[in-house]
Amino acid sequence: MDLDPIVGSEQGGSQRPALVISGDRFNEHFPIVTILPLTGTHGKRRRVYPFEVVLDRNMAGNPEEWIVMPQQIRTVSKTRLRGRLGRLTNASIRQRIERRLLEHLAIEFEIAGPESGA
């Protein structure tokens, strides 16, 4: 992704890795995609926060370990896309990212019980 220019604490850079999280059907019809920026861990003393998820090397075509940052969710123009590295197919990691994203957005779903009529 090319996420420049940035403002304040936004993740940016002309070569920023990102995970596209908007659905394929949406992406087919609109000139935008929703993404979660990623940051590398190599050579950094950055801690991984409880609301973030680590992608081990080669998990989605990533050449190094990356951190998924749900707190930096953005919808951006497809013109910012620079190419595809891979696809995240690991169901367990996808579920962890989904949970962290829902937590960040303060979205909670109740499980319908017999008394709910659902």
How many CA atoms does the CB half-sphere of 47 hold within 13 Å?
3
Q: What is the pLDDT of residues 60-72, one digit of tens each?
A: 989 999 999 999 9
Helix (H, G, I), strand (E, B) or coil at 74: strand
Nearest to 69 by CA among 8, 4, 15, 17: 17
Strands 66-68 and 74-77, by their bridges, are unpaired
| pLDDT score recorded for residue 56 | 94
| Backbone phi and psi for residue 86, each to the nearest 5 degrees, phi listed first | 175, -165
Domain ranges of the chain: 18-116
Please give the CATH architecture assigned to the domain spanning 18-116.
Answer: Roll (2.30)
Q: What is the pLDDT of residues 14-72, one digit of tens each?
A: 788 999 999 999 999 999 999 999 998 888 888 899 999 999 999 998 999 999 999 99
